[in-house]
Homo-oligomer: A and B are copies of this chain.
Amino acid sequence: MYCISDLAEEFGITTRTIRYYEELGLLKPSRTEGGRRIYSSSDLARLKLVLRGKRFGFSLEEIKEMVLLFDEDRTGEKQLKVTIQYGEEKLAEVNERIAELVEIKEEIERLMTEFKGRLEG
């Protein structure tokens, strides 16, 4: 169990950010009798997921969709199918982003070798 400033330090973000994520429904820590937030290790894992999502450009709303998706009741078959459908869409998105990044990478590499050639030549 961690308090909010523990989490903040651990992940290198501010407490304001953590409260904001909660405001958006991304986190749901329990509370002490006095009203202070306490975070379990599953809250911690959740936050880790959120931050990773952010790092490669998803909006907090998109991230919310994703984390809530894997959080709802998924006992029914229909629900499960919808989840799989959605997951595959996200997977396609991710694959597209990877492909684009690889293109950029190659473009930069081409430029770099050209410049290096100029230096030596």
Contacts and interface: CB of A to CB of B under 8 A. Distances in A.
B52 A83 contact: no
A90 to B, nearest CB: 6
Nearest to A77: B119
Interface in A88-107: 88, 90-91, 94-95, 97-98, 100-105
Contacts of A88: 112
A108 B87 contact: yes
Contact of A83 (B53, B100, B115): B115
B108 A104 contact: no
Nearest to A88: B112
Interface in A58-106: 70, 74, 77, 80-81, 83-84, 87-88, 90-91, 94-95, 97-98, 100-105
A35 interface: no
B91 A105 contact: yes
In the complex, which range does the number of interface residues on chain A fall in?
20 to 34
Contacts of A90: 108
A115 B55 CA distance: 26
Nearest to A58: B57
B84 A112 contact: yes
